Structure 1
Amino acid sequence: MKELEIRSKEALSSLLSTVPLIEIRNLKTALQTQAWNPDFIVEIEVSGKSRFLICTIKANGQPRFVTAAVLQLRDYVIGKEINATPIVIAPYLSPVTRQACREKGVGYLDLLGNAWLSFDGVFIDRQVADKPSSEHRELKSLFKPKSAQILRTMLREPNRAWRVSELSYVAGVSLGLVSNIRTALLDREWGQTTSDGFVLRDPPALLDAWVQVYEPPLGERKKFYTTLHGSALEKAARSAVSENSNGRALFASFSAAQWLAPYARVSSHHFYADSEGLEKLIKALELIPASKGENVVITIPKDEGLLLDTVEAAPGVICTSPAQTYLDLSVAGERAQEAAEHLRQEKLTWS
């Protein structure tokens, strides 16, 4: 903590020195008592007026930890008869955390360079695009296939409270992984605990973070051509995906979106399938392999969880879930962006 405190003081001093109106008078560590105290206080002069910057340092800048610090800072400042501005400092503060600080009127600074301060005619608002590599790794890990099975399960019933053992069973993953994901969601304030169990607190924020790091699923992508079209193609496809005795096949991407929230038709048709489901589709749609000019694309994903996360959009119409369809559209090219946003507005809005 000592090194972090030194770096925090240096970063704040450097930031303040960029404003000609500000003169730093004193920087001292706050006296520690049994009651809560800030980590250090900076006395400054702004155009002849004295002001105190009340600073607390958090080693972890996730919302769960910063929220408590914000409340403590506000209570501390309210109890002082001085011109004071509360400030949170951390190695990294996510956009969600920074927004929460601004809404509470609490300044912030992270060691990557993000900063927001507003007092006595001084206004600093800095944002940097970079994320620390550790944050990027944590997000990628949160959305790996096995972890994603947990998240997709919860997004299907976003208001449901889950016990760890129950969620483990339904998602088909270990108790340990559910516990880890639970902790990660709590830290980011995307989930919360209730007397009935663990529930999603902020599904939109979770989906926003997921789409930022989402990549097309690994697997074998096969291209075909069919002479079927219109109602004949629709009937054959519905027959293939609704027949459960031999393998799995389902509408995906643009094709799933057409059933879930129709927006813009495209000439190609998209499916997820396992090897047996692939054979069903080849037979039902009379598919011919195509190196170019394909109008049917079938992906055999390595992540078998994708084949289980389904909804029946109409009788016999098995599609990827709205959340998965949205994610797939997000990486399907510029033309798919509007379809993705339309789907989200229609099927992925939560109170």
Structure 2
Amino acid sequence: MKDDETRAREALRRLLEKVPIVEIEGITSEAASSQSQPDLVARLLVDGRPRVLVCEYESNGQPRYARSALLVLHDYAQRTPHATPVFMAPYISPAVRQLCEEKGVAYLDLEGNARIAFGGVFIERIVAENSGAEQRELKSLFRPKSAQVLRAMLRAPGRSWRVTDLSEVSGVSLGHVSNVRTALIDREWALASPEGLLLSKPDELLDAWRDSYKAPSGERMRFYTPLHGTALEDAARSVLSTGDGSGHAAFASFSAAHWLAPYGRTGTHYFYADHEGVEKMRGALRLAPASKGENVLITVPKDAGLLADTVEPAPGAICTDPIQTYLDLSIAGERGAEAAEHLRREKLSWPK
């Protein structure tokens, strides 16, 4: 038996040992002798009456693998008297826990989350909403290169994508696009069809991205400008719209939302820019460095894709795309969260 399956057996044993009316007769590995047998079988006595837990362990607990395991478990349970099916994995997300409940299958993961009911026994424990492994996987999915793929897909959620087309549009390698494709399918956020990869649950994808989002890495620069209102906007647009190929900048956060889905003005103006773009803005906006009292914040991101994935809702008003603007607003305090939800309603609504 693999190490993880050994850990699964011991986790099941520890959980059952805490129930006074349960006597464990044995927990054995059946799959080693036959492919048509469950990974683990726990034979129990509950107040003297026999009960059996038939368990299937998956090294990946994502919905794609869980669904097939649940079908197998139902077959095992039907062939075994007094049996309760149990799905096991290193981590079982809330979505998969709900799926298990809907299918009438108990569950236990190696983080300690469990819901098992049999013969008058009911065990339920929630100890980890986001495991370390799950967080690492999501962090990988939302890294800059992957984010370029996701932004492209979310901009056209009804489109079926070939890997080669998605690679070309996003500017990301075929191998990296393939990894993103697998992660989306595993979580059932996308479906593979003969026509290509199609986002099936864009809202769930965006929710997960928002919940794990951190501000982009990069240099944050604080300035003061004497310009205000239309004068500042016109000066900024004159810089952002220059097409000479040297220096790039874009409205970001609240400033991008002002053009995309106005919600309310702030006294501070936000931009992403490369270093040449910063120098252009210094002159056009008459910027002076400020340690306090700043009204212009410019981030020079390490992720060049943020300045490549832009939109122009008005002439010269180059803005971070609605997805990136939504994410940045979502971590900008209570007012930012409100502006984010307004932007989402206006620009990021998809058919259910």
Contact kept in structure 1, 2:222 and 2:291, CA below 8 Å: yes
One-letter amino acid of the counterpart of residue 219, structure 2: E
Report the equivalent of 1:321: 321
Deviates more, 1:275-284 or 1:182-191: 275-284
Q: Distance in 2 between matches of 1:101 and 1:181?
A: 26
Deviation at 1:109, TM superposition (A): 0.6
Call closer, same or farther: CA 1:6–1:290 in 2, change over 3 Å: closer
One-letter amino acid of the counterpart of residue 210, structure 1: W
Q: Distance in 2 between matches of 1:198 and 1:174?
A: 16
- Specify the SS of the correspondent of 1:85: strand
Deviation at 1:302, TM superposition (A): 1.8
Cα RMSD of the aligned pairs, angstroms, is 2.6
Call closer, same or farther: CA 1:247–1:120 in 2, change over 3 Å: same
Deviation string 1:241-282 (CA, Å, 9 cap, x unpaired) is: 333335322110111122223334321010112233323433
Q: Distance in 1 between matches of 2:250 and 2:288?
A: 19
One-letter amino acid of the counterpart of residue 105, structure 1: G
Report the equivalent of 1:330: 330
Q: Distance in 2 between matches of 1:134 and 1:29?
A: 25
Contact kept in structure 1, 2:21 and 2:46, CA below 8 Å: yes
Structure-1-length-normalised TM-score: 0.88
Contact kept in structure 2, 1:36 and 1:72, CA below 8 Å: no
Matched, 1:167 2:169: no
Report the equivalent of 1:253: 253
Mapping for residues 69-218 of structure 1, pairs under 5 Å: 69-77=69-77, 79-80=78-79, 82-129=81-128, 133-218=132-217
Please list every run of 5 or more consecutive structure 1 residues that lacks an aligned counterpart in the other structure: none
Deviation string 1:104-157 (CA, Å, 9 cap, x unpaired) is: 221111111111123444332212237554443333222222222112211211
Q: Distance in 2 between matches of 1:20 and 1:319?
A: 62
Contact kept in structure 2, 1:274 and 1:300, CA below 8 Å: yes
One-letter amino acid of the counterpart of residue 59, structure 1: S
Contact kept in structure 2, 1:189 and 1:201, CA below 8 Å: yes
Deviation string 1:82-112 (CA, Å, 9 cap, x unpaired) is: 4432111122223332232223221111111
One-letter amino acid of the counterpart of residue 109, structure 1: L
Report the equivalent of 2:242: 243
Deviates more, 1:300-309 or 1:175-184: 175-184
Q: Distance in 2 between matches of 1:279 and 1:229?
A: 19
Q: Distance in 2 between matches of 1:121 and 1:211?
A: 41
Q: Distance in 1 between matches of 2:104 and 2:38?
A: 17
- Specify the SS of the correspondent of 1:314: coil
- Specify the SS of the correspondent of 1:234: helix
Q: Distance in 2 between matches of 1:347 and 1:18?
A: 51
Deviates more, 1:52-61 or 1:138-147: 138-147
Deviation string 1:206-237 (CA, Å, 9 cap, x unpaired) is: 22332343222222222222222223333333
Mapping for residues 276-291 of structure 1, pairs under 5 Å: 276-291=276-291
One-letter amino acid of the counterpart of residue 242, structure 2: E
Call closer, same or farther: CA 1:51–1:220 in 2, change over 3 Å: same
Deviates more, 1:39-48 or 1:218-227: 39-48
Deviation string 1:320-341 (CA, Å, 9 cap, x unpaired) is: 1121112212333344223223
Report the equivalent of 1:312: 312
Contact kept in structure 2, 1:43 and 1:51, CA below 8 Å: yes
Call closer, same or farther: CA 1:346–1:46 in 2, change over 3 Å: farther
Call closer, same or farther: CA 1:309–1:106 in 2, change over 3 Å: same
Q: Distance in 1 between matches of 2:283 and 2:32?
A: 75
Deviation string 1:280-313 (CA, Å, 9 cap, x unpaired) is: 4333333222221011111121211001112233
Contact kept in structure 1, 2:111 and 2:128, CA below 8 Å: no
One-letter amino acid of the counterpart of residue 333, structure 1: G
- Specify the SS of the correspondent of 1:317: coil
One-letter amino acid of the counterpart of residue 113, structure 1: G
Q: Distance in 2 between matches of 1:300 and 1:50?
A: 66
One-letter amino acid of the counterpart of residue 42, structure 1: A
Deviation at 1:170, TM superposition (A): 1.1
One-letter amino acid of the counterpart of residue 152, structure 1: R
Contact kept in structure 2, 1:250 and 1:271, CA below 8 Å: yes
Q: Distance in 1 between matches of 2:75 and 2:26?
A: 23
Q: Distance in 2 between matches of 1:247 and 1:2?
A: 54
- Specify the SS of the correspondent of 1:67: helix
Q: Distance in 1 between matches of 2:237 and 2:123?
A: 57
Contact kept in structure 2, 1:51 and 1:83, CA below 8 Å: yes
Count of residues in Structure 1 that have an aligned counterpart in Structure 2: 350
Report the equivalent of 2:228: 229
